Chains A and B, each alone.
Chain A
Amino acid sequence: MDEPRDGRDERTGADEPPPIGGSWGRLYAFVMIALGLLIVAFTAITRHFA
């Protein structure tokens, strides 16, 4: 491959919007919130049934 391999220069294509969800930032936030909710749920399950 002849193209330069410098990572910082190669992150083109990252601006392409997601097919759903509006923006990538919103999707990432959604994933993090879902993870937080799962951790809360697992903690509640652990404590309730212990």
Chain B
Amino acid sequence: MSGLDWLVLVGSQFLVVAYGVWKGRRANTLEGYMLSDRSMKWQTVLFSIMATQASAITFISTPGQAYVDGMRFVQFYLGLPIGMIVLSVTAVPIYHRLKVYTAYEYLEGRFDLKTRALAASLFLLQRGLSAGLTIFAPSLILSIILGWDLYITNIVMAALVIMYVATGGSKALEKTNVLQLGVAMAGMITAVIVILVKLPSSLSLYDATLVAGKLGKMNAIDFSFDWNNRYNFWSGLIGGMFLQLSYFGTDQSQVGRYLTGKSVAQSRLGLIFNGLLKIPMQFFILYVGIMVFVFFQFAAPPLFFNHVEADKIAASSRAAEWNALEARHAEAHAARRATVDALVAASERNDAAAVETAAVALREADGTFRAVRKDAVALMKENDPAAATTDTNYVFLTFVMRYLPAGLIGLVISAVFCAAMSSVASELNALSSTTVIDIYKRSVRPDESDGHYVKVSKLATVFWGLFALAFAMVAHRFAPSLIELVNIVGSLFYGTILGVFLVAFYLKHVRGTAVFAAAIVAECAVLLCAFGTGIAFLWYNVVGCGAVILTALVIQALTPDRELRTQN
């Protein structure tokens, strides 16, 4: 990066963090530290919700996902608007009415302490791991760009975030989330403008999209049903809805955001607008990846986007074979480029028959091109079985570093940092809230002063920051695509937690012991699906939720009288 890039990056981050600390300087009460005194308008709630969900992983991995897999990931979000409506009708009024700090507080009144503790514990485990991934992602960027050691980079990143969250609390993160989302989107918009400017001047946006479409990348909707297909209409609408219901309805990192709304209406409207804006936003970020894909139909892409792995094999005893593959790759790219030119020319002539002929030739050339890449990956595996042979996460950043002008690189990297910090801030705040409210204040020290709990909250923030850091240190060993990994980890637990909450909301006759046992059974079923079957991960949410509801109903039906006597 140039001096100008560093100036943009460091300057913008300093301003954002300073703004956050300044805004959070008066968070001296527990309600102020955890929920911003429940004083936020719907716009702040909306942008804070969006900034929390859109982490650095969203901005790094999603364009790469589109580059490799096309637009189909957008289906993941199809259930979100429905989930927002359901939560607006059900959960938001209940949480506001009870003035809870965390979602899990509600479960004790409805069921019992052990159910509250179980749900809180599942949340702490899954969100602690996810926070580790959220720290890991931007650290990965820095380690690639600057050649820094990944472990040291993780530590630096975590230390900055912990310092910022622990001092500012919710008041700081709500305000900075809005700012950070703005910077993040500005970075993505800048990137797509640069891509469009750098594409051949004769190429229209329509023709660029046509090229991507003919290579199977504009696959935004797939109505075919397949349990093992990770992203299709049905898994997105049904499985995705369950995941989003659980994420927004029971995950404290989101519940904590809309509980800051100053009324039911303000919280609801934030959620409703999230339902309107989230899918178009994700479509746009995926489309950035599609444009990077089209850009690399004209400019020569590297044989492998992770240059660290590429450099490793180029310096090994297999270097000659690697160099030969690079030569073949360049030839295949040139041949494919010729077919792309033919397709664009046919499209400009409005010659439908010629377009289809050129498309066939393009797919054939692309097949040859991809075969070379496949050979390269196989060679890397032969050379080093432990080599990271997935480069999805490196695609977008490779483009940024190679083709963006000085200053704009700093802006995009700053955007990634902003996205990371907004998500980690919300996660650490939620982990701290749950630890203090659901465990410490409830079961350890129930009668301390507000000031004491604020201090403990800050310590809990530091603890969870360190926990997340520990996971970040090992995350690179199993990160095929970071955004998928986050969602897979979430899906292992979300269905069960959602099932517990749905029973709480709608099945009034079911009591604590039944739902507690059902949650244990359901979690076992989810883990069995994850590690014993090939079922796509979005369905884990349906399995977990369904298993809780059914098992709880059965157990309650078998032991109704004694249970009711116990409860009463």
Smallest Cβ distance from B132 to chain A, in angstroms? 33
**Chain A positions within 8 Å of B505 at CB level:** 7
Chain A contact-residue range equals 20 to 34
Residue from A1, A6, A10 within 8 A of B93 (CB atoms) = A10
**Chain B positions within 8 Å of A11 at CB level:** 90, 93-94, 97
Chain B contact-residue range equals 35 or more
Interface check B526, CB cutoff 8 A: no
Interface check A22, CB cutoff 8 A: no
Smallest Cβ distance from B238 to chain A, in angstroms? 14
Residue from B93, B100, B266, B279 within 8 A of A12 (CB atoms) = B93
Is there an interface contact between A10 and B98, defined as CB atoms closer than 8 Å? yes
Which stretch in B161-169, B206-214, B514-522 binds the other chain? B206-214
Complex interface bits, A10-28 against B, C-beta within 8 A gives 1, otherwise 0: 1111101111100010011
Smallest Cβ distance from B545 to chain A, in angstroms? 17
**Chain B positions within 8 Å of A43 at CB level:** 220-221, 223
Is there an interface contact between B220 and A46, defined as CB atoms closer than 8 Å? yes
**Chain A positions within 8 Å of B84 at CB level:** 31
Residue from B89, B96, B214, B279 within 8 A of A49 (CB atoms) = B214
**Chain A positions within 8 Å of B81 at CB level:** 31-32, 34-35
Dominant SS at the B interface?
helix
Is there an interface contact between B82 and A35, defined as CB atoms closer than 8 Å? yes
Interface check B218, CB cutoff 8 A: yes
- Cα of A12 to Cα of B106 in the assembled complex, Å: 16
Is there an interface contact between B74 and A42, defined as CB atoms closer than 8 Å? yes
Interface check B57, CB cutoff 8 A: no
Q: Known contacts A11-B94, A31-B275, A32-B81: does B221 contact A42 (CB below 8 Å)? A: yes
**Chain A positions within 8 Å of B279 at CB level:** 35, 38
Interface check B504, CB cutoff 8 A: yes
**Chain A positions within 8 Å of B280 at CB level:** 38
Q: Known contacts A42-B220, A46-B218, A46-B221: does B106 contact A19 (CB below 8 Å)? A: no
- Cα of A16 to Cα of B85 in the assembled complex, Å: 15
Complex interface bits, B221-247 against A, C-beta within 8 A gives 1, otherwise 0: 111000000000100000000000000
**Chain B positions within 8 Å of A16 at CB level:** 263-265
Query: Max chain A CB contacts within 10 Å: which of B85, B504, B508?
Result: B85
Is there an interface contact between A49 and B221, defined as CB atoms closer than 8 Å? no
**Chain A positions within 8 Å of B283 at CB level:** 42
Smallest Cβ distance from B245 to chain A, in angstroms? 15
Interface check B105, CB cutoff 8 A: yes
Q: What residue of chain B has the Cβ atom nearest to residue A17's Cβ?
A: B265
Give 8 A-B pairs besides A12-B93, A19-B42, A20-B269 with Cβ atoms closer than 8 angstroms. A12-B97, A13-B264, A14-B89, A28-B272, A31-B276, A45-B71, A46-B221, A50-B219
List the 4 shortest-distance A-B pairs measured between CB atoms, nearest first.
Answer: A49-B213, A5-B109, A42-B220, A49-B218
Q: Can you list 17 contacts pairing A with B, beta carbon distance less than 8 Å? A: A3-B109, A5-B110, A10-B98, A13-B97, A16-B265, A18-B268, A24-B268, A31-B85, A31-B276, A32-B81, A32-B85, A35-B78, A39-B221, A43-B223, A45-B71, A46-B71, A50-B216
